[in-house]
Structure 1
Amino acid sequence: MPSIDIRGAVDSLANSRGRSARHLLIGLGLTAAAVTASALVARANAPTEDNPEAYSDYEELKQPKFKPPRPAFSLIWPPLFLALTLSGLRIWNAPKSPARTQALTLWGVVQALNAVWMALGPRRLGGQLATATAALGTAGAYVWRAKKVDAPAAGMVTPYVGWIGFANVLTEELWRKNRDRPTLH
């Protein structure tokens, strides 16, 4: 029966060959914590059955016709967050260089913008649109920089960039349809 090389599999997935287990665990902790913080902000601001309008007491916004059903978001975000975590971990484990530092900085800014965008929700559509646009640009810059450090890490974030682009279209359409209605009371 062939033996399973767990460390080899982890090294391949996390780009951690030559790194200590401690370095790998610190990176995993930092990247997972940053992405988890964004996810928790999203969850804290998500509507529930008890409070479908968790954001504020505004009337129902006019929705775009092409908005995906709410359950789709629950299926899409977890793999995107997982890919963001793994991408950041792969960059963390890359050899030290100015490109790595730039990529890690951009990755961190993407996480911060995610948290801000989700915290704003539809309370402030203009602010959400500006934040989502900044997140899209920063994520694109991260992909560009990460590709120079670790191409698979850049590839892992490409679906996120596409999703944020689509989210920008939805947010812009919400803003356009509702700009004459106050959304924060």
Structure 2
Amino acid sequence: MWAYTVGFTILPHVGGLFGWFINRKGVPVWYEKLKKPSWCPSRKIFPIAWTVLYTGMGYASYLIWNDLGGCNSKAIIPLGLYGAQLALNWAWPPFFFGIRNLKMALIDILCLDGLVIATMCSWYPINKIATLLMVPYLGWLAMATCLTIRIWKDNPEEKPGKAE
């Protein structure tokens, strides 16, 4: 049974590491040039925060899977919502850092917020501990959403053909 625990706990890290690997070279130069609010966390905080958050949410998903008896008809909505929010979580870095489309990153994170709340609502009757493990993630997303909004507003996209 420990293999399932480890697998579910590691799964969220897969997309996070892939996104970091793909975007690692261009991020520092481009990101540092962006106008950011004074309350923007240091870049050094993000890998630590995401390691903790991905581990908590991954373990929480294992608890839900285990309590529902695996992948069956009862698990479709709770684990489907979790999978959908995880996909949007993994999509945000390519939108923001990869193609540098701040508007798409904003749309993504707003949808992500809704899916995380829906996931937590679907999990609450199944396992309250799993739901509580998602609270730090939702808190971090709230900050990240506000940060994305501010960066999007404060860094207008260049119009095609405009000189720099």
| Structure 1 length-normalised TM | 0.74
Residues 86 and 139 from structure 1, CA distance in 2 versus in 1: closer, same or farther, beyond 3 angstroms?
A: same
4+ residue runs over 6 A deviation: none
Distance in 2 (CA, whole Å) between partners of 1:45 and 1:172 is 24
Is structure 2 residue 150 aligned with structure 1 residue 150?
no
| Structure 2 length-normalised TM | 0.83
Give how far 1:38 is off: 1.9
SS at match of 2:96: helix
For residue 151 of structure 1, what is the amino acid of its counterpart?
Answer: K
**Contact 1:37-1:115 at 8 Å conserved across structures:** no
Distance in 1 (CA, whole Å) between partners of 2:77 and 2:151 is 34
Give % identity.
25
**Contact 2:10-2:55 at 8 Å conserved across structures:** no
Is structure 2 residue 94 aligned with structure 1 residue 119?
yes
Quick one: which of 143, 150, 153 aligns to 1:173?
150
Alignment correspondent of 2:28: 52
For residue 113 of structure 1, what is the amino acid of its counterpart?
Answer: L
Distance in 2 (CA, whole Å) between partners of 1:112 and 1:47 is 20
Extract unaligned runs of 5+ from structure 1: 1-20
Alignment correspondent of 2:65: 92
Residues 60 and 93 from structure 1, CA distance in 2 versus in 1: closer, same or farther, beyond 3 angstroms?
A: same
For residue 52 of structure 1, what is the amino acid of its counterpart?
Answer: P
Distance in 1 (CA, whole Å) between partners of 2:27 and 2:74 is 45
Alignment correspondent of 2:38: 65
Aligned residues: 156
